[in-house]
Structure 1
Amino acid sequence: MGKDKFQRGAQANEIVQYTIPSQGTGQRTEDSHNAEDGPQTQDTQDILEALRGTRIALEGKMDTMAMDINNHLRLGFRKVAERVTSTEGEVADIQNIVRTLSATMETLQSEVT
């Protein structure tokens, strides 16, 4: 009987290996009957468990990715805020230079006339 391997992450960074038969055994487990889904074989239950594990792993990865994106955005916004603050300081310096030049021009004009 061939085997397919399914992996599931118990946590975002941990991989747990599941080995599931690729061909059904036809064996039914006790209490495996679900009124909506009908009876389930052990293989079906194993596959469902592997899928649940995969879902849990993906949810963990999504949470990790969301935190990473959030951290990158915070860092980016912080850098932008620092640059804006730096630019505001540069603008203030330029305004002071312009005021000084304007005052100097007025002084020169008054001396010329």
Structure 2
Amino acid sequence: MTPEALVYDALKNLAGGRIWPDFAETDELPCIVYQVVGGEPVNYLTGEQPDKQKVRVQVSAWAGESRIAASELGQQVEEAIRTATHLQPEVATGRLATFDEETKCRGTRQDFYIFA
């Protein structure tokens, strides 16, 4: 499975199933958007292809005009990824409160490393 598929699988029960890679495909809220934003390559001297990768994933949780709802959804995201032990997750950053001026929506953004 790709890192994106594994992250989706960990989050799929949140936000009414509105989980999207790269950008939200609907205006319906709440929703979660995630993307791989880097990582740490695994390299072997033999040139062998590693069977796992360590990637950095950024997850944004959007919950409309309520800061409290956005923070609660962000906490749910963190818990879902932390408890997906098969991803060997590492929390890379704390949650960052964010606001989209155009839509007036509040959200959170947080980065994680996964090794899968």
Interval of TM-score (by shorter of Structure 1 and Structure 2): under 0.3
TM-score, scaled relative to structure 2? 0.18
Q: If each structure's strand is expressed as a fraction of its own residues, which one has the higher value?
A: 2
TM-score, scaled relative to structure 1? 0.18
| Larger RCO, structure (CA 8 Å, separation 6 or more) | 2
Q: If each structure's helix is expressed as a fraction of its own residues, which one has the higher value?
A: 1
| Larger Rg, first or second structure (1 or 2) | 1
